[in-house]
Amino acid sequence: EPSVIYLAKAVYYNADTDLALVQTVGKATPGHDVAQLAKESPAIGEKIHIVGMPSGLYYSYIDGTVAAYRTDLFEDKTGTYMQVSAPIYFGNSGGGVFDEDGNLVGIASFMMKAPSTGFFVHLNTIRKMLDVQLEELK
């Protein structure tokens, strides 16, 4: 299949959380469904759903549960992260984790090989980033 490339520019990047907010450029860019942010984080033990593109495989799905919430894991990983029971793989970074209602509760950030223990940027960090960006647009 031929590939189609769409352009986007980063309008915000935070190195501490490894989150970027991108804005598409050009009229040919197709619309996308928008994931709604959950009102609250799922409890430890609640079921979650992960969508990502591990090793470039288009939209892979895996489910699991919230294993824990971890704060300040390493010097370069400050803030709160959601640890999940489902394995994630290289290429999942930037993919979403969703609650049972399909609401976004985190974004894949990094993993530890214990085995493939995945950590996701916490919902509150995502919400804070979006709130700051919306204020700047006003």
Name the helix (H) or strand (E) containing 134: helix 123-137
Question: What number is the average pLDDT over the span 81-90?
Answer: 86
Per the prediction, the chain carries an average pLDDT of 82
- What is residue 46's predicted lDDT score, i.e. its pLDDT? 96
pLDDT range class, residue 95, cuts 50, 70, 90: confident
**Distance separating alpha carbons of residues 67 and 83, to the nearest angstrom:** 5
Closest of 9, 55, 51, 54 to residue 29, by C-alpha:
9
- What is residue 29's predicted lDDT score, i.e. its pLDDT? 64
Closest of 132, 50, 42, 131 to residue 97, by C-alpha:
50
**Start-to-end CA span in the chain (Å):** 41
Model confidence at 125: pLDDT above 90: no
Phi and psi for 126 in degrees, rounded to 5? -65, -45
**Distance separating alpha carbons of residues 122 and 131, to the nearest angstrom:** 15
Closest of 64, 119, 130 to residue 95, by C-alpha:
119
- What is residue 53's predicted lDDT score, i.e. its pLDDT? 82
Among 37-46, 66-75, 83-92, 104-113, top mean pLDDT goes to 37-46
pLDDT digits (tens, 9 = 90+) for 5-38: 778 888 888 877 778 888 778 766 666 677 889 9
Greater pLDDT, 47 or 92: 47
The answer to whether the CB of 126 falls within 8 A of the CB of 106 is yes
- What is residue 32's predicted lDDT score, i.e. its pLDDT? 65
